[in-house]
Amino acid sequence: MGGKKVIIISSSPRRGGNSDILCDEFQKGAQEAGHDVEKIFLKDTKINYCSGCGFCNTNNYTACSQKDDMNEILENIIKADVIVMATPVYFYTMCGQMKTFIDRWCARYTHITSLINRSNRD
Ligand SMILES: Cc1cc2nc3c(=O)[nH]c(=O)nc-3n(C[C@H](O)[C@H](O)[C@H](O)COP(=O)(O)O)c2cc1C
């Protein structure tokens, strides 16, 4: 069996901070195990807030009205077998960077939920 395609999302603004170290260690282990790993440090990307415009809804959750880095990242997420998401705890929940990132999944909502449902079945 070939290696899996793994995507790691590191959302802390602190490069080399605690959760980013965990991402790096995960990446190292997965690569050593023969998997194809891409790590994305969210602070290096341009991801706007979801504007709630409803454009993706009218297009059956397949396209976002905004043109920033999120479109390419979503395409890579859809191709991935494994998605790793790391966040520091900020006021009992995920950090704002991770929430902003997740809100933008809306544009591929139908596709991503079908992938999640499939992996829950496997
Ligand atoms: C704005 C902010 C809010 C935080 N809220 C919590 C919290 O609710 N609970 C907690 O245990 N730690 C909290 N922390 C501490 C961080 O979770 C902790 O320092 C964490 O290791 C940071 O992760 P990082 O090194 O990956 O950036 C908070 C830190 C910041 C900056």
- Residue 111 pLDDT: 80
The string of pLDDT tens digits covering residues 32-55 is 999 999 999 999 999 999 999 999
SS3 122: coil
- Cα-to-centroid distance, 99 and ligand 1 (Å): 15
Cβ(15) – ligand 1 distance below 6 Å: no
Domains of the chain: 5-121 (3.40.50.360)
pLDDT at residue 122, as a whole number: 67
| Structure confidence by residue, pLDDT tens digits, 74-85 | 999 999 999 999
What's the whole-model pTM score? Answer: 0.93
How is residue 14 annotated by DSSP?
Answer: S
Give yes or no for residue 16 CB within 6 A of ligand 1: no
For residues 55 and 65, what is the distance between their CA atoms, to the nearest angstrom?
6
Tell me the β-bridge partners of 90: 93
What CA–CA distances, in Å, run from 26 to 8, 70, 77, 86? Answer: 9, 23, 17, 11
